[in-house]
A and B are shown apart, each in its own frame.
Chain A
Amino acid sequence: AQSVTQLDSQVPVFEEAPVELRCNYSSSVSVYLFWYVQYPNQGLQLLLKYLSGSTLVKGINGFEAEFNKSQTSFHLRKPSVHISDTAEYFCAVSEWTNAGKSTFGDGTTLTVKP
């Protein structure tokens, strides 16, 4: 069975500072990995995804993530955050052999302060 652990439930940062949101996963087979963002009072939208190929994935709004197979991690990073990045971020994994079933982490609340 697959599982996802988001290591930080809350991450407060100041505007224009860099940020890293950590995500570890476990699975016995190859996986697809996703990061979603949920802005206040809105639905989830995809930030980026890793399916195969290059381990560095670039997404929307200046976010990127690196797939590290040996450490089973998929950390999300942004070099300089804005107030508007304040939201909840979810890491998700789905197995190649059962791609329709995604497992989500518990979420990380990113709060960007002025």
Chain B
Amino acid sequence: EAGVTQSPTHLIKTRGQQATLRCSPISGHTSVYWYQQALGLGLQFLLWYDEGEERNRGNFPPRFSGRQFPNYSSELNVNALELEDSALYLCASSLAPGDTQYFGPGTRLTVL
């Protein structure tokens, strides 16, 4: 069974640009979560989608947004990139809210 996949593996952008990160959950999983793992800051919860709806978001500005598609895959968009947005962005999926989260390998975003 395929795990959570994320694309791209690496993404390099400049300040002010927009970044789009993609995530495909494990088959059958309806909940998708996004986290930011910045150097020295641990994992910060970004967004949670379930059944196509945004259910919760962490303490991030509105320029961090996303969506979940009918096939439960998800997209994270970061607008007006800032240098401090450089981080590893992890996606996870679970069968149901609160269930074990299975993580993807992450997308390394570098903002120059």
A29 lies within 8 A of chain B by Cβ = no
Residues of A within 8 A of B98 (CB): 32, 94, 96, 99-100
Q: How far is the CA of A103 from the CA of B43 in the complex (A)?
A: 8
Q: How far is the CA of A42 from the CA of B106 in the complex (A)?
A: 9
Q: Are B43 and A104 interface neighbours, CB within 8 A?
A: yes
Interface residue ranges of A42-74 to B (CB < 8 Å): 42-46, 49
Interface residues on A, range: 20 to 34
Number of A-B pairs whose CB atoms are under 8 Å? Answer: 56
Q: How far is the CA of A44 from the CA of B97 in the complex (A)?
A: 18
Chain A interface SS verdict (over half): strand
Q: Known contacts being A43-B90, A49-B100, A100-B33, is A106 close to B55, with CB within 8 Å?
A: no
Other-chain residue from A34, A45, A100, A105 in contact with B97 (beta carbon distance below 8 A): A100
A57 to nearest B CB, angstroms? 13
Total interface residues in chain B, CB < 8 Å: 26
Nearest chain-A residue to B98 (Cβ)? Answer: A99
Q: How far is the CA of A102 from the CA of B33 in the complex (A)?
A: 9
User: Which B residues fall within an 8 A CB radius of A?
Assistant: 4, 31, 33, 35, 41-45, 48, 50, 55-56, 58, 90, 92, 97-106
